[in-house]
Amino acid sequence: MKAKYIIFDLDDTLMYEIDFLKSAFKEIADFIDKKNQEELFKLMLIKYHEGENVFDFLINNYTNFSKEQLLQMYRNHFPNISLNEGTDDLLKKIKSKGYKLGLITDGRSVTQRNKLKALKIEDLFDKIIVSEEFGSTKPDERNFKIFLENDIEEYYYIADNTKKDFVTPNKLGWTSICLLNQGNNIHTQNFDLEQKFLPKIIINSLSELLKL
């Protein structure tokens, strides 16, 4: 069996970023107005989907709180989130085959680490790269080359963001795989790009990886 390294993105790949946002909004709404928490949470979501700046709305209407205070709560709260359907089983099956598992995620250390702890998957990965800890963000080659090992013959990278996720894996000769947006992603996917930015394979669900 060829040695393989299966490397994932986190947000909108293993979990939906919108779930983290909702978790944070609920905590902020409860902190600001415990009596009307549910109504405020729903209003915050409406403002978000309408493209308004939710934090500006909050500090303009709840003047006892600062924008920085609320942003820190958003970034640092311990989220109530879950893995996308079938993901836990998939990761464990990959490990059971003897393949190595990696993760590359952009974001603040405390935010991304809290997500991983909440999802209970931190210990499944052989190596985790969080951009703030590492000092550079995707598509910097360093974030990918750190996974290169002499005994690994094949690399797979599974992610969702066509702007930054696939250009470097393509350059390195990895198999780049895009999880197609099913309508829940924070960022839109644009496939009208130069070939170097496009994934080699597109899948509708992570379960399709088992066939590969």
Would you state the pLDDT for residue 56? 97
| Element holding 76 (H helix, E strand) | helix 67-76
- Cα-flanking dihedrals φ and ψ of residue 34, to 5°? -60, -35
Would you state the pLDDT for residue 2? 61
Q: CA separation (Å) from 61 to 37, 48, 57, 98, 194?
A: 14, 16, 6, 54, 45
Report DSSP state, residue 11.
B
Q: What residues in the chain have per-residue pLDDT under 70?
A: 1-2
Q: Is the dihedral of CA 6, 206, 187, 112 positive or negative?
A: negative
**End-to-end Cα separation, the chain, in angstroms:** 14
- Cα-flanking dihedrals φ and ψ of residue 186, to 5°? -70, -45
Please state the pTM of the whole predicted model.
Answer: 0.93
Closest listed residue to residue 100, CA positions, set 1, 199, 206, 24: 1
Domains of the chain (ranges, CATH numbers)? 4-14+85-211 (3.40.50.1000), 18-76 (no CATH)
- Tell me the three state secondary structure of residue 9: coil
DSSP string, 50-61: TT--HHHHHHHH
Amino acid in position 93: K
| Element holding 132 (H helix, E strand) | helix 131-134
Closest listed residue to residue 182, CA positions, set 23, 16, 11, 47: 16
For the chain, give the longest Cα–Cα distance.
62
